[in-house]
């Protein structure tokens, strides 16, 4: 599903953000990526949807050769991925329904299929009754649930999340994690960068710890590992 071999990333300013990182993530896994601020978590996450390219090394995501692929292939890579950010990134002038439908219009889905799929994912995140609301009319947790609905509407093989609970209170964060658990139980691979020690320690999933651009720990049922 994800095969990373000896991947390094040097930014244009000379910062070595990832240093010969190798990792394999299989279908259906739930992986937390943890580490201090500046460790390289976001860089690692951004490689997966080709927001950043490795400077060297090999990376295969969902059958795509991320390093060698043509630019025209990038949309095919991204169609198989659902990406979720800390700051939700919804379109402010579109409703909940439109924000989710927009992700499908991009792939030119037939209208009836689109409506059915949008309603179904709004059910998954418990927001069907708010389909007419604009993002500004929703709480942070609700906005993140819309972002999750948008991420899963095309039935991606992998959901990639960068600090998805970073702006949320603990209770709302657990609502988000419950949704992730359900999505994962249905077979979707989840890779989530997080600072949330309680979530990581409670869920006992695979934990990959990054420090100074290196993977320093990779445990099947891990914990966050140090106090924050």
Give the binding site for ligand ADP (CB under 6 A): 11, 13, 15, 17, 35, 37-43
Of 50 and 130, the one with the shorter C-beta distance to ligand ADP is 50
| Closer CB to ligand ADP, 44 or 174, in the complex | 44
Judged by beta carbon, residue 15 or residue 113, the one nearer ligand ADP is: 15
Least gap, CB of 21 to ligand ADP (angstroms)? 11
Q: Do 222 and 32 contact (CB within 8 A), yes or no?
A: yes
- Sheet containing strand 189-193, strands side by side: 81-85, 158-162, 189-193, 30-34, 206-211, 214-219
Task: Tell me how far, at minimum, the Cβ of 213 lies from ligand ADP, in Å.
Answer: 7
Q: E strands along the chain, which residues?
A: 2-10, 16-25, 30-34, 56-61, 64-65, 81-85, 158-162, 189-193, 206-211, 214-219
Alpha-carbon separation of residue 53 from 5, 198, 214, 216 (angstroms): 13, 32, 17, 22
For residue 190 the two structure tokens come to 């989840």
Tokens of 195: 């600072």
Nearer to ligand ADP, 41 or 64 (CB): 41
Q: Could you tell me the smallest distance in angstroms from the CB atom of residue 200 to ligand ADP?
A: 14
Is 187 in a helix, a strand, or coil?
A: coil
Residue 25: count of CB within 10 angstroms of its CB: 20
Q: Which is nearer to ligand ADP, 47 or 103 (CB)?
A: 47
Choose between 12 and 108: whose C-beta lies nearer to ligand ADP: 12
| Beta-strand pair 16-25/2-10 | antiparallel
Strands 64-65 and 81-85: unpaired
């Amino acid at each position: 599903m994800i095969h990373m071999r000896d991947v390094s990333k040097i930014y244009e300013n000379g910062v070595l953000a990832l240093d010969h990182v190798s990792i394999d993530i299989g279908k259906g896994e739930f992986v937390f990526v943890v580490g201090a601020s500046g460790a390289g978590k976001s860089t690692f996450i951004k490689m997966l949807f080709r927001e950043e390219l490795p400077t060297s090394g090999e990376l295969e995501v969902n059958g795509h050769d991320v390093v060698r692929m043509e630019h025209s292939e990038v949309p095919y890579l991204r169609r198989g991925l659902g990406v979720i950010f800390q700051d939700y990134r919804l379109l402010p002038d579109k409703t909940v329904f439109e924000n989710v439908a927009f992700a499908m219009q991009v792939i030119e889905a037939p209208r009836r299929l689109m409506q059915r799929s949008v309603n179904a994912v709004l059910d998954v995140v418990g927001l069907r009754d708010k389909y007419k609301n604009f993002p500004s009319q929703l709480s942070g947790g609700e906005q993140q649930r819309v972002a999750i609905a948008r991420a899963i509407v095309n039935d991606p093989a992998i959901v990639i999340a960068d600090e998805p609970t970073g702006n949320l209170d603990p209770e709302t964060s657990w609502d988000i994690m419950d949704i992730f658990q359900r999505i994962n139980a249905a077979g979707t691979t989840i890779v989530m960068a997080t600072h949330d020690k309680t979530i990581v320690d409670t869920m006992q999933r695979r934990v990959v710890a990054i420090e100074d651009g290196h993977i320093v720990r990779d445990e099947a049922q891990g914990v966050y590992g140090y106090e924050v």
